[in-house]
Amino acid sequence: TLFPASEAKRSKAVSFEEPASHGTLTTPSKTPSSDSSFSLVSPSSSPPGATTEDVTEKVMTLLSRQKIDPAVLQSVQELLLVSARKTKGISKGRDSARAALKGKDKKISQLQEKIRDLENQAAYNHKRMTNMKAQLIRLYEEN
């Protein structure tokens, strides 16, 4: 016979390499917005525009009305400023982590879409091959 009955499984190789142009996708995205994954992350507790330096200034204004040694006032101000810098750094780190997570989520959705496309293409190719084989068998049987 032209085609043996045993259907040996062929191994399939899939590449997850990015195409040279990162800005274009072959099909539109069908995945839901990745912003929904951020609903569990609580927003910053401070209002927008409020800085921890404002707290330092307020505390120093309150303490300046008291009879406190200037060296102690200076020490308190330095501690408050160091704390403000640490808080600002933590905030920037959190924002950076959120941005990185959003980028990873986007990459994951792109790869999932690519997998779906490749699986659909493989199924389509398998169907075409089956139809071609059937046509060849019919032609062979007719002659």
List pLDDT tens digits, range 38-74: 444 444 455 544 566 688 888 888 888 888 888 999 9
Count other C-beta atoms under 10 Å from residue 24's C-beta: 6
- The average pLDDT across 18-26 equals 50
Please state whether 49 falls in left (phi above 0), alpha (psi between -120 and 50) or beta. Answer: left
CB 59, CB 76: distance < 8 Å:
yes
Q: Which residue has the higher pLDDT, 32 or 112?
A: 112
Q: Which residue has the higher pLDDT, 3 or 110?
A: 110
Domain boundaries, the chain: 51-142
pLDDT of residue 33: 44
pLDDT of residue 87: 92
pLDDT of residue 135: 95
- 73-115: pLDDT as tens digits: 999 999 999 999 999 999 999 999 999 999 999 999 999 999 9
pLDDT of residue 25: 46
Q: What is the spatial distance between Cα 86 and Cα 6, in angstroms, rounded to a whole number? A: 68
pTM: 0.47
The residue to which tokens 């330095």 are assigned? 78
